[in-house]
Structures are given as structure tokens and as C-alpha cells.
A and B are shown apart, each in its own frame.
Chain A
């Protein structure tokens, strides 16, 4: 039985044809993946299904019947629920209040609250969706917030659940849990649509998958009959190397040495707690960790944005301490390049033209400056060269930075930071929000930097990226480095446990018997 059928959906925003004649069939009680690069039209399509936009033409059929969806309320009435990428929760509301919002069941709240509690209890029994119902939504960890979003949809009787990039903020363990929940929903006959750009997730959890490219549906596949490689090729429209192609590292002497480095914030919390490590020329050291465990502070301290509170940083023999700090410009002069984690906030000025963004931090350089005025022609020419080197599209130095896609913005930042051949290159989240084609390109360039003898420190929340690029991996938890592994020996499970600060070695060594015991206890009970 077909739960959802889309026929000939078209949608344009001005000159942009976001959905071209899209057709889709999804069986009831299956998990269906939709993949595509940024701007392929996945989100637009789902927004149409959830009533945020109306299609210019085409039909939506729910359970075989043509259904017109003019707004989110009508989508909800048709049994469609959506878990948005950015959660739609009211932070100071309790879980109960969040769940009942929009479905209060009467003008007064009293009865609705009781009914919602009962309903949440039932959903907990049926699907194993446990949440603290009286906690404030804003105080829950992201994994639970997402669960509240799922509960919101189920409470409204959703039979079709759309999840938009649900795993971006989750740890590997939370992701596993989410997938278990999705499978439980599937068992109960719920149809799940999973929008993602992570091929691995498609392979792990879906039954069928549809690929979008440039606003069109380019392929439908049964998951077990396809492969990551095929899907990547369908997404990008050409062959893509998923594995990073690199030689064994040939590390030399240390270019960056960090000793007992601490950064203590104004409210007295140690954001970075007694961290020591070094990065040698010709190697990539990856820093893994759940976002917010001190990685940002580490990058800030190593690039001179934040002064160290304790400890020292040595770069090519120059030592920076809390007593003798240097600013970011001085760090650049020492040969530190920095690709910031958040390119919109720190990487470039979106209101500037590309050529202006491409000289930020190096804008005092004599090549760009005359006696009074800046040399516009030199700036433009420099940017044109960088754009050619890094395949930035469109190669228009005069275009506003905001008008480039995420991948191309990132290429501009990388080009800027790599152009000076830095001895130490700090890279934060280099491929966040970047298309798979551009990811391949960025990864290739980072490896080339390494081979040219730079010491590269890579911070990323994407474990796959860390594992495929790094030669050594450090794991951070609550401002400390809780583990170091050779990339050859690393696997996702082990890193995931370290990221949650559950030591994998002690656990695997000492856990055999306790687990047995637990099982016995469980059996007796």
C-alpha cells in the first residue's frame, strides 16, 4: 500500500526552479531516504508536503487520495508530522506544554494537560519513547529534544513522519538510538521519510532511497540493491571518491607544541583544561568530540583570538604564554593559518564582496595597499587567482560573499588561509554544510597541505571526516583530551565511547562479567 505519492510537483522561487516535475512513491510502513546535495530541492519538496509552501503544479496523494495541503494545520490533519532540522521547541515550556501546543483540546488547559500526560505515557509504552515530561525543553540534551519533536508528531496522530537532517547534532550513540526508534515506528506501521546527506545513514536504516539533483528526482533505489558509491555518483552527477586518497604520513619535527594549556572563561569555568599535545610537520591531527567540549576554545587559543589562562603554545620555536600573549595578527605572522569553524561569523563577512573576504586578516599586506587607498585591482586579481586555484564557482570576485553556496564560501576561506603556505594550519569544521563534491575537493587540498610539510590540526564533529583525514586522533571531552589513537586503529564505536568519556579499554576489559551478571539479574526479574 502506498502511503505517499507525489505526481509532477513543480515549484519555482522567482527564476530558481527548485522542484522540477518531481514524482515519488513511498510504501506504507517503510523508512524512505531522500538524499541530495544542498540546494537539490529536498527541503523544498518536504516543505511542500508539510504545507509550508504550495506547489505551482502537481498532486499529493495520501493513502491513494488526492490531498490539498495549504498549511501546516492541514498537513497535520492529513497525518503528516515533521521533525525539523532546527527544533521547533519553546525552550521555557515543559515537555507537556510543547507537545500539546496547537492541539490543546479545548480553550482551557487543565483537561488538555491531563490528556497529554496520558497520551505520552501510552506512546512511551508503545514505542519506548521515554522523556521527562515535566522538564523544561530548553534544558534537555539535544537527543531528548529530538525525541520531544517526534512525540509532538505522534501525539497529533502522524502516520507519516518526515525527519530533516536528524543526525547532524547527535553523537553516534544518540544516532543509534534514533534509528532504533525509527525502526520501532516502522514496525507500528508509521511511514518514515529521512532527509539526509549522509550516505552511511541511508545504508544503515532505510528500505528505499530517492536521489535528488538540481531540483529533479534522478533515481529511486531499493537500499539493499545499491551502494554508497552509486548513490554518491547519482547525487553529484559524476564519480566521487568517498575515501580520502592519501599516502602514509611522513611526519618531521613538531611545528606546534601545546603544554598544559588552559582557558578559563569569565564565569570561572575551565573551557580548556590542562591540554598538552603536539602536531608535527607533515601530519594531520584530528580532534574529535561532541560539539561544545572545548574544541572551539582550543582553536581560539591556538589562533590568538583568546588568550591562554595557563600553559604555553610553541609555534616554530616561538613560545606564547599567559604572561606573554600574542594577538591573532601576530599568530598569522608566525605562520598560523586558521579556517574558523563558523564561516559566517568568523570566516568571512557575508556583506563583503568575495575579493574583500578573500584578504581578511591579510588586508594590511603591502600588495593590497597604496600610500592611502587600497589597491582594488590587486585585490581583485588576487581573488581571481585564488578562485581559479580552488575552483570557486562562480569565479566572480565582485560578487557578494553571501551569494556563494556554502561549499564555495568555504573554498574562499581555505584559499585565503592556504595561499600563504602556513606552517601550522588550524581547520575547524571544514565541510559543515558543504556539498559532497566540494568536500572531496577540500579534503584533497588538506592532504596536499600536509604533504607539502604543513602541520594540520583538524577539528570536526563528523567522525567519518576525522577518521578518513587524520593520521592521529585526539578526543576531547569537557575541555580535556581524554584519549589519543592512531587513525589506523580507530573505529567509530571506540571514538564514540571516548567522546562520551566512557573509556572503551577499561570497559571492554572489565565489562565481560558485569554484563553477564546484569543479564542474569534481568532474567531473574
Chain B
């Protein structure tokens, strides 16, 4: 019993840690797509931020410097995407893919040039990382049955950026549904002409959304290299940007359902790590590849009909051209 409880708690703990960057990236995608800009480049922005954060943290020996660098580079990439898609009305998918490819190559090339460690950044010391925050009393209540374990492992003991990720969910909900910016954001993704004729600049609004997107992706990337890990590894996002994109679609472009989807994917990941190599009753050892593919399989199955039709913002993917 006790062992089982510990297993559950540690799996949930892992779920929260793994899902945090997904949550940030999914919210980033939400801002972009709600404004009418499809962002396939979440992956690339996260990867660039992860590299920039690790590099800056190492050089300056400060996690905050890393965060600043990660967020900055991600916002710059988001603005490049915006420049291509909003100002020049380019194809949004092509621009996003271009960013992904660019970043995948550039991070490794710069990594080799600057640190000569095969594309990695040197390991970060604890000062240069976001380390776990232990909440008051966590040690004291540790041994209280159930509640102690829950409090110490699940509520307490995560790094600052993880808390930021989960706080960003209600914040995003509030912004999207309760503020003027949110109303306009939702409108511009549905019918930009309505926004334009109401005397609001479609271009400015979409750029603002891209900045929000870049900002959140930057935190997500920073989380990967300076909080979850201690340095940048080649291609360390490993498709998480796309998982986040799937989670956002899965969550029907709404913050809370998107977070739930991220948690589900995070949970699958955590379970995958637990049962890797473990022989299960009846089925024996489950191939790890199958488990790793689960989130994707699940996305396809669920999108294929189990969650009802996912209706994207009507204007997403379409550059706004004033009609003549």
C-alpha cells in the first residue's frame, strides 16, 4: 500500500514537471492561433530559448540572465514569424517550418563554435539554474500520511518556472475572456475584417499576440535547459513543441482544457518512464517505442472523433488582406 502510494505520488510529481513546458508552449500557441496566426514554430522557439538560456546562464552564471536571453530570442523569432506572416502575408506553415529547421541547425552550430562540446552547453552549476523551491513546512509535514506526501512532493518542491507555467493558465483565461485585449484577440482570429472596420489595427493586434507567444515559448525553453536539466543538449525539445500544439488543439483553443491535455501527455510520459523495462502482468514488457508514441496515437484517435469537432478560429492561417 505504502509503496503504491509513493509510486502514485512520484508519478504525479513527474507529470507536473514534464507537463510544465508543454503548458507554457500550448498557451503560447493559443495566443498565436487565437489571433489568426498558425504557429508550427513553437518547437523551434523553445529550442532556441533553451540554447540561449543555457548559454547565457553559463556565461553570466545567473539563471535570471538565462531567462532573459531565452525569452528575448524567442520573442525575436516570434516577431520574425510575424514579419513573414502578418506584414508580408506569407504562408504561416512554411514560415514556422523554416524557423524550426533554422533553429535546429543554428543551435548546434553555435554550440560547437562557442563551447566545443559537440553542440552541448557545459553543465550548469546550481546557481545558474532555477532550483526547486521548498515550501514552508514541507519538511515538517513530510511524514504525515497522504497529505504530507502530496504537499511535499506535488505542491512544494518545483522550480519557479513550473509555478509560472501553472499560474499562466488562469492568467491567460482571464486575459482572453475578461479583458479588452482578449476580446479583440478572439475577434481578430475569427473575423479580422470586423476588427479592422471597428477601427482597430489587425496588424498591431497580431504582433501583440506574437509577442505573448514568444514570451511564453521563451519561458518553456528556459525551463527545459536551466530548470529541468542542467544545460542544453542537441535537439532537446524532441517534439515537445508539436505535442504542445496538439494539446492546444485537443483543448479546443481554450486555456484550461489545453492544460488538461498537457497534463495527460505529461502523465503518459511519466508512466512511460516508470514502466520502461518493467515486465507487466499478462502482456510482458511493453516496448518503449510504443509508449513514447502514445501521446501522438492518442492525439490522432481523440481528434478523430472522441472529443467532438475541434473548430479552429475561423481566420487562423489566413493573412488579412483588405478587400479592394
Residues of A at under 8 Å CB distance from B?
A: 13, 50, 52, 71-76, 82, 84, 86, 88-93, 97-98, 100-104, 106-110, 112, 152
> Which of A13, A73, A90, A108 neighbours the largest number of chain B CB atoms within 10 Å of its CB?
A90
Q: Which of A52, A73, A91 contacts B190 (CB 8 A)?
A: A91
CB pair A90–B197 under 8 Å, yes or no, is no
CB pair A90–B180 under 8 Å, yes or no, is no
16 more A-B residue pairs beyond the given contacts A91-B191, A101-B200, with a C-beta to C-beta distance below 8 A = A13-B324, A72-B198, A72-B199, A74-B199, A76-B199, A89-B191, A90-B187, A92-B190, A98-B194, A101-B184, A104-B180, A108-B178, A109-B179, A109-B180, A110-B178, A152-B198
Q: Which of A73, A106, A152 contacts B200 (CB 8 A)?
A: A73
Known: A52-B322, A75-B199, A101-B187. A89 touches B194 (CB 8 A): yes
Contacts A/B (CB < 8 Å), 28 sampled: A50-B197, A72-B199, A73-B199, A74-B199, A76-B198, A76-B199, A84-B193, A88-B191, A88-B197, A88-B198, A89-B191, A90-B194, A91-B191, A92-B186, A92-B190, A93-B187, A100-B183, A101-B187, A101-B194, A101-B198, A102-B184, A102-B195, A102-B200, A104-B183, A109-B178, A110-B178, A112-B180, A152-B198
Which A residue sits closest to B196, measured CB to CB? A72
Q: How far is the CA of A110 from the CA of B183 in the complex (A)?
A: 12
Residue B181 at the chain A interface, CB threshold 8 Å? yes
Q: Which residues of B contact A50 (CB under 8 A)?
A: 197
CB pair B194–A88 under 8 Å, yes or no, is yes
Residue B314 at the chain A interface, CB threshold 8 Å? yes
Residues of B at under 8 Å CB distance from A?
A: 178-184, 186-187, 190-191, 193-200, 314, 322, 324
Q: Which of B183, B191, B200 contacts A97 (CB 8 A)?
A: B183
Q: Which residues of A contact B324 (CB under 8 A)?
A: 13
CB pair A102–B191 under 8 Å, yes or no, is no
Q: How far is the CA of A374 from the CA of B197 in the complex (A)?
A: 49
Q: Which residues of B contact A152 (CB under 8 A)?
A: 198
What's the nearest-Cβ distance from chain A to residue B170, in Å?
15
Q: Which residues of B contact A103 (CB under 8 A)?
A: 198
> Which of B179, B190, B191, B322 neighbours the largest number of chain A CB atoms within 10 Å of its CB?
B191
CB pair B195–A101 under 8 Å, yes or no, is yes
Q: Which residues of B contact A88 (CB under 8 A)?
A: 191, 193-194, 197-198
Q: How far is the CA of A117 from the CA of B97 in the complex (A)?
A: 45
What's the nearest-Cβ distance from chain B to residue A42, in Å?
14
Q: How far is the CA of A100 from the CA of B194 in the complex (A)?
A: 12
Which A residue sits closest to B177, measured CB to CB? A109
Which B residue sits closest to A99, measured CB to CB? B198
Judged by DSSP, the binding face of B is helix
CB pair B190–A101 under 8 Å, yes or no, is no
CB pair B193–A107 under 8 Å, yes or no, is no
Q: How far is the CA of A52 from the CA of B184 in the complex (A)?
A: 19
Q: Which residues of B contact A86 (CB under 8 A)?
A: 193
What's the nearest-Cβ distance from chain B to residue A23, in Å?
24
What's the nearest-Cβ distance from chain A to residue B175, in Å?
10
Which A residue sits closest to B197, measured CB to CB? A88
What's the nearest-Cβ distance from chain B to residue A345, in Å?
18
Nearest first, the 5 A-B pairs at minimum CB distance are A102-B198, A73-B199, A88-B194, A72-B199, A104-B180
Q: How far is the CA of A91 from the CA of B187 in the complex (A)?
A: 9
Q: How far is the CA of A92 from the CA of B190 in the complex (A)?
A: 8
Which B residue sits closest to A82, measured CB to CB? B197
Q: How far is the CA of A76 from the CA of B184 in the complex (A)?
A: 17
Q: How far is the CA of A116 from the CA of B16 in the complex (A)?
A: 42
Q: Which residues of A contact B184 (CB under 8 A)?
A: 101-102
CB pair B183–A107 under 8 Å, yes or no, is no
What's the nearest-Cβ distance from chain B to residue A387, in Å?
26
Q: Which residues of A contact B190 (CB under 8 A)?
A: 90-93
Q: How far is the CA of A93 from the CA of B198 in the complex (A)?
A: 15
Q: Which of A13, A73, A76, A108 contacts B180 (CB 8 A)?
A: A108
Q: Which residues of A contact B180 (CB under 8 A)?
A: 104, 106-109, 112
Q: How far is the CA of A86 from the CA of B197 in the complex (A)?
A: 12
Which B residue sits closest to A51, measured CB to CB? B199
Q: How far is the CA of A71 from the CA of B199 in the complex (A)?
A: 7
Q: How far is the CA of A89 from the CA of B178 in the complex (A)?
A: 20
Q: How far is the CA of A163 from the CA of B182 in the complex (A)?
A: 29
Q: Which residues of B contact A92 (CB under 8 A)?
A: 186, 190
Q: Which residues of A contact B322 (CB under 8 A)?
A: 52
Q: Which residues of B contact A107 (CB under 8 A)?
A: 179-181
Q: How far is the CA of A103 from the CA of B196 in the complex (A)?
A: 13
Q: Which residues of B contact A74 (CB under 8 A)?
A: 199
Q: How far is the CA of A173 from the CA of B30 in the complex (A)?
A: 43
CB pair B179–A108 under 8 Å, yes or no, is yes
Which A residue sits closest to B178, measured CB to CB? A109
Q: How far is the CA of A392 from the CA of B324 in the complex (A)?
A: 24
Q: How far is the CA of A102 from the CA of B178 in the complex (A)?
A: 15
What's the nearest-Cβ distance from chain B to residue A126, in Å?
22
